[in-house]
Structure 1
Amino acid sequence: MLHRAGRTSWKRFARVLVPSVLAAAALGIGMAQGALAASFLISGQKFQVALDTLEVRGLSIYSTVDVTRQGTLVPVAVTGARRAEISGLCQSLVVPIPVLGPYTLRVTGGGRRHIEARNLFLDATTLTSGQANFNDLEIGVAAGAVSKGPISPGDRNSRFFDPNGFAQQADSALLRDVRFTTVAVSAATFNVPDLDLRVRQGRHECF
């Protein structure tokens, strides 16, 4: 009886957690191969992205609205980078499992060598940085006139993108101790040395 109960709990755990793990793994593989679509329906789950440093060449920050598969609207601020170098990546997602409690999917990389990304977009609900340095910064530019940094093609073609809306851009930027609460991340290429993905019982968030 105890053995069967254990097997049942594990199956319940797998049904809830495995889709999230597979989605995260697919996201990482798609980003690494540059095959991720420019726009996609989001799950709506918020996850954490922490970076020791984020060095950007061609920065854009603009607002839009992401959409879940169920049609829920999620306002976000998008940080875009034509090219980015990242050190100390941590990504975490907490998944509540019935009976077993919370489990954390945690991804790390870029500890010894920098991560390199091209056309990187982080759709965030919050962003903090211990120190942010911008070069040739422009604040208040119309979103449709952004030229220094990228605008995601999926966002530009979205009915929620306002070309007259508020945006900012910079030729380059260096941010330290960066913390994003995000609902989506996409990139044309995302090359991660020392990638490590783990699933652990309990809450083991990046921050």
Structure 2
Amino acid sequence: MKQYILICLSVSICFNVGNSQKNTTENEEFKEIIWHVKAFKPEMKYLKIKAIDKKGRMYDVKAIQNSEQTSFLDVKAFVKGKRLPVKMLVGEEKYHPVKAIDEEGNILDIKAITEGGIVLPVKGVSKSGNIVHIRAIDEGIIFYNVVAVSPDGTTNAVKGIKLKPGNIETTIHGIDVFAHIKSIPQVSY
């Protein structure tokens, strides 16, 4: 019997410390909402999604909602007080690896972590037009969806987005990027 895991983003609200006004005017700045990356089984056991550096240190990966719109959210790794871009890199193998990139061009792995400490790679596995489908991969044969869940329970898919034709979307700190990682509305079939 196959078990399926959905990788989800749980949510907490972070307030802009510099803004002391109360929420009474239309022009007030939007209070940023941070979506924490988690994985869960149908039994609702959560798995962590982390950025892992070369020394094995783990950091949070989150989707960031910084306005009322929820259709296109940034996904970032929170490393030592900085928000690093999470991107899909140009791959040499069958699948494109999902990684975070720091200011010096160092790459951090993006992984799903099971309760037993098993580390699952997160990769771009197939492409539909400009969308690249991302999955956590268990033993190379079981693929788990990656989604974002809002505070009200609405879900977005976490996908790779291609804006340009060809293999290289952009280059960040010397690293070739295949696609940007975003949280977008799910398509119903």
- Give yes or no for TM over 0.5: no
* Larger CA Rg, structure 1 vs 2: 1
Say which structure is richer in helix. Answer: 1
TM-score, normalisation: structure 2: 0.27
Using CA pairs under 8 Å that are at least 6 residues apart, name the structure with larger relative contact order, 1 or 2.
1
TM-score, normalisation: structure 1: 0.25
